[in-house]
Structures are given as C-alpha cells and as structure tokens.
Amino acid sequence: MKLVILDRDGTINEDRDDYVKSPDEWVPVPGALEAIARLNHNGWHTVVATNQSGVGRGLFDMASLNAMHLKMHQMLAVHGGRVDAVFFCPHVSEDCCACRKPLPGLFQQIGERFAVDLREVPVVGDTLRDLQAGVAAGCEPHLVRTGKAAPERMNDAQVAELVAQVPGTRVHASLDAFAEWLIARERVASGKGGEA
C-alpha cells in the first residue's frame, strides 16, 4: 500500500491563528485538493493526521469538526480525489496525551489501522511538530511552504533552522509541488523516465 500522511491546517486548508472553527472557515490551499487527487490517481492513499485542540478548548464541537471534514471530502470528490481517513487529536497540551503532535500517537494509530510499516512513508506538514511526529514514527519528512511555513510567515533562515532540527527533511513550495516531486521520484525509481 502506497501511503502519504498529511497534516490538515496549513497544508490542505488555509491556517488561521484563531483556529479553523467551522465549515465556512475551512478554505483549501490553492492546488491542494488537486494535489491529493493527483496522488490518488497515481496509486497513493492519503490519510490526514491533525491536532484539533479547538475541540478541547471548547472553540468548536465534534459536529463542527465532522462538518469541516465532510466539506473537505465533498470538495475533494469534485476533483476526483479522496482522503481514506482523518485521524485527529482533540486534546490540549495540558492533557498529556500520546496523540498530540509532536508525539507519534496518531501516526502509530494509522500504522495499526492500515497494517502498514511507516518507515519511509512520506509525511507532509507546515510545522516542526508535524515533522517531529512523523519522524518519531519512522516516516520521511516533507515541509511545505504554506500555512505557518509560508514565506510571509517564515523566512529562508527560519526554514533552514527548522529543517536542521529534523535531518532529511525536504522542502516544497506547496502540497501540489510535493505531489509532483513524489510522482516524478516514483517514475524514476520504476524506470519510466522523467527526473525527480
């Protein structure tokens, strides 16, 4: 099974400093839904791993979270794409759970659910904790320059500092650029030509 694990806020949809609290506030990053569809069409399964402490903070309830994800699934379907599952942590840091990124609990749950060895499974996110959680579970880290890592929020020196904390991290302009890179790498590995 070819699997990619994606962060949500800042990677698939626009991030908000005051939290994404409703379907109306759930707005896709340009090109992100098309990127997931391209991955799907090239045989990749996509799963979301996301911290949603807004639930624990009382900013929105489970019905609102489910409605956001329904909107995501419906918008993806328009592009011929899909996310196989959404794994989320509803806790705040004070809860000391094992599933809140940067801890790897969500990733371990994904590995168990899909019976997949997570070694070298790509994880894509816009924050240090996304990458740390993935690497702790054995995943291959990829940072996208959207959300919290967007150029207007994080300069090149800050990105280099972040990447230095998670050796092996590759940096991409967006989820769309990551998808293009991954598909090209696979084509090269399978001898179908192209350049990674």
Question: Model pTM?
Answer: 0.96
Q: Residue 193: what pLDDT?
A: 65
Radius of gyration of the chain, Cα coordinates, nearest whole angstrom = 16
Q: Residue 194: what pLDDT?
A: 54
Domain-located, residue 159: yes
Residues forming the active site: 7, 9
Q: Is the dihedral of CA 81, 27, 13, 161 positive or negative?
A: positive
Taking the chain, what is the end-to-end CA distance rounded to the nearest angstrom?
21
Nearest C-alpha neighbor of 89 from the set 48, 124, 117, 125: 48
Location of structure tokens 């790498």: 185
One-letter amino acid for residue 167 of the chain? P
Domain-located, residue 59: yes
Domain-located, residue 76: yes
Q: Is the dihedral of CA 57, 20, 82, 194 positive or negative?
A: negative
Q: Residue 28: what pLDDT?
A: 98
Q: What is the 3-state secondary structure (H, E, C) of the chain?
A: CEEEEECCECCCECCCCCCCCCHHHCCECCCHHHHHHHHHHCCEEEEEEEECHHHHCCCCCHHHHHHHHHHHHHHHHHCCCCCCEEEEECCCHHHCCCCCCCCCHHHHHHHHHHCCCCCCCEEEECCHHHHHHHHHCCCEEEEECCHHHCCCCCCHHHHHHHHHHCCCCEEECCHHHHHHHHHHHHHHHCCCCCCC
Domain-located, residue 193: no
Q: Residue 155: what pLDDT?
A: 97
| In contact, 178 and 144? CB cutoff 8 Å | yes
Where the chain has pLDDT below 50, the residues are 196
Domain-located, residue 181: yes
One-letter amino acid for residue 41 of the chain? H
Mind listing the pLDDT tens digit for each residue in 31-72? 999 999 999 999 999 999 999 999 999 999 999 999 999 999
Domain-located, residue 194: no
Number of domains in the chain: 1
Domain-located, residue 196: no
The CA-atom distances, in angstroms, between 57 and each of 48, 61, 90, 101, 147 are 21, 10, 9, 16, 21
Domain-located, residue 100: yes
The CATH number of residue 48's host domain is: 3.40.50.1000
Preceding peptide of 122 cis, ω within 30°: no
Q: Which domain holds residue 89?
A: 2-188
